[in-house]
Amino acid sequence: MIFCLLVLLIYSDGDLAWGDDIEKATFAGGCFWCMEAPFEELNGVMDVVLGYTGGVSKDPTYEEVCSGRTGHYEAVRVKFDLSQISYSGLLNVFWRQIDPTDPLGQFVDKGSQYKTAIFYHDEKQKALAAKSKTELQNSGKFDDNIATEILEVSEFYKAEEYHQNYYKTCPIRYKSYKKGSGREDYIENTWGETNDDMPIKENARPLEEELKNKLTSIQYKVTQKNDTEPAFNNEYWNNKKKGIYVDIVSGEPLFISTDKFESGTGWPSFTKPLESENVVEKTDRGLFMVRTEVRSQKGDSHLGHVFNDGPSSTGLRYCINSAALKFIPKEDLEKEGYGKYLPFFSNPS
């Protein structure tokens, strides 16, 4: 019994239960204060820890790392759910927080501890990191070469507690530093985005080969090829359970059971989106007619269409393919990272 418990603790990395889709990613992007928020607010990210890695000494302190003698990088370790966000999605966010062409550090901070690096945890991460680096180099976005290194993961030491969640505990100093260091202006000028809590639009969309491996045949055809599943022969058309529906690709919240109604069409139908900014409407002129297509904002998944023949509450009918959705039951919202939607139900307990 003791042996089993020890094995569980060793493989759980401090958590009592890790699902098959739970993975870790490690990134160094200069001052780690500025690398926490962009990841922490993403759907599918469960935890972000600030720390030190890549050095030669054990249990280094902040002062020792800052001296440059230990060889450690300031880094963040991201725990994420692969069923909600891909590693490629995390890479997209990482590249947009840094100046990848600086070999000496980041912005006003120079030294080995402020250099950028991607620390891969397995061969798949290594390949995806190398591919994303090559794509960025070939994109023509930068005149200089990409200096960010791709290194095998090494021992990670958690930084002192006062560094954790610094953007929350010391927001004024954090914002002043991010602005004063030049990072904020660089991100705005390079990518047109500055908000820490605004996920990059492409953050949750995996690469094409990942999508083919992740999705079933019908899910891929519907979300990526704008196909339509059979009426009355799909997963959620008659689902009456309480919960929310999220994008099968990105995990972004789309609809809620309290807005679901029986339309008689054989597909899940809703009176309105749960989060209107997550649903994008586009004109669809296919099949010799003009309709309004709906797609997810971050995952860019084809969801279905919206029609003006819905219930009187909104007059709308969002006719959605089950294959584009993942249902999160009310009782699982908290553990799946969607706990903020519990109050939407009459009995959130």
Q: What residues are labeled active site?
A: 31, 319
Which residue reads 């690709």 in tokens? 249
Spatial separation of the C-alpha atoms in residues 20 and 22, rounded to whole Å: 6
Tell me the CA distances in angstroms from 241 to 193, 257, 264, 333, 335, one per residue in order.
38, 7, 18, 13, 18
Strand-strand pairing, 317-320 and 325-329: unpaired
How far does Cα 149 stand from its chain's mean position? 22
| Cβ-proximal residues to 219 (8 Å cutoff; 6+ apart), any chain | 248, 323, 324
Q: How many other CB atoms are there within 10 angstroms of residue 285's CB atom?
A: 9
Spatial separation of the C-alpha atoms in residues 221 and 210, rounded to whole Å: 14
Spatial separation of the C-alpha atoms in residues 320 and 195, rounded to whole Å: 31
How far does Cα 323 stand from its chain's mean position? 20
